[in-house]
Amino acid sequence: MSPSNPLLSVTGLQKAFGENQVLKGIDFTVHSGEVVALIGPSGSGKTTALRCLNGLEIADAGTVGFTGGPEVSFSAGLKPKTAQILRSRSAMVFQGHHLFPHLTVLQNVSIGPIEVQKRPKDQVLAEAKKLLARVGLEAKADAYPNSLSGGQQQRVGIVRALMQQPDLLLFDEPTSALDPELVGEVLTVIKELAQEGWSMVLVTHELAFARDVADTVVFMDGGVVVETGPASQVLSTPANTRTQAFVQRLL
Ligand code: ADP
């Protein structure tokens, strides 16, 4: 991690839905190999912030810049090309239920690289099989999503994100749709990826997991970043009273 050279810099990010000003100027950075957990009460804007990084939402103002790439400066009227630039740098793992039901596991994780990124099919399929084996799903390559458990589906979602060869992995509450007994297997995969050096931003309500895996915690409330710091510090001895109240309730 080099403090002087962030992989991702987010400044002044704003987003409104109609009258609802959801993000009121968000700043944070992610360094190469860093795991950043976005935490905060429901409705504080965490998912919206994550979706703006990936171009799934187009912010109203602010900048999102990846190292080596053009800095995207949001302003009214900026549209699809922005999303394209951002989407080429990061990949999102959703809460669940985002696999194509009519495609096999292998097809689900390889269709994007083959059809969109136009990478050679043989190479893509070989990589997909390797990554499926990596998350313990070698035997499920030809299965359809509805025959898999929620935890298995989520591991397929992670492989699909890895197949995009992103610089940054984005996780939006990756375990919130899972039965409690399936949470561990997904968190284990995420933790292993973190240990392998993947850079990631993780929206999570699993504060114990955030403490375990995140380098940095960003606490959001009411559309602003209230506190940012090393995970151990923000989760154990938060400086801000709002962070204290939130953390005390959940840890
Ligand atoms: P969090 O992830 O912290 O729970 P969200 O970013 O999901 O917060 O939501 C923040 C606010 O933005 C909520 O009030 C939510 O209703 C609103 N919101 C999110 N997405 C949309 C959307 N597509 N259209 C309208 N309102 C939205």
pLDDT tens across the length of the chain (251 residues)? 445 579 999 999 999 999 999 999 999 999 999 999 999 999 999 999 999 999 899 899 999 999 988 788 887 666 667 778 888 899 999 987 689 999 999 999 999 999 999 999 999 999 999 999 999 999 999 999 999 999 999 999 999 999 999 999 999 999 988 888 889 999 999 999 999 999 999 999 999 999 999 999 999 999 999 999 999 999 999 999 999 999 998 87
**What is the CA(233)–ligand 1 centre distance, in A?**
28
Segment (H or E) for 146: none
**What is the CA(229)–ligand 1 centre distance, in A?**
24
ipTM > 0.85 for the complex: yes
48 CB less than 6 Å from ligand 1?
A: yes
Mutate to test the pocket of ligand 1, among 42, 48, 205 (most ligand atoms within 8 A of CB): 48
Q: Tokens 């099989």, residue?
A: 129
- SS3 at position 193: helix
**In Å, how far from its chain's centre is CA 13?**
17
Could you count the other beta carbons within 10 Å of the beta carbon of residue 18?
6
45 CB less than 6 Å from ligand 1?
A: yes
**What is the CA(126)–ligand 1 centre distance, in A?**
38
Mutate to test the pocket of ligand 1, among 19, 22, 42 (most ligand atoms within 8 A of CB): 22
Q: E strands along the chain, which residues? A: 6-17, 20-31, 35-39, 61-66, 72-74, 90-93, 168-172, 199-203, 216-221, 224-230
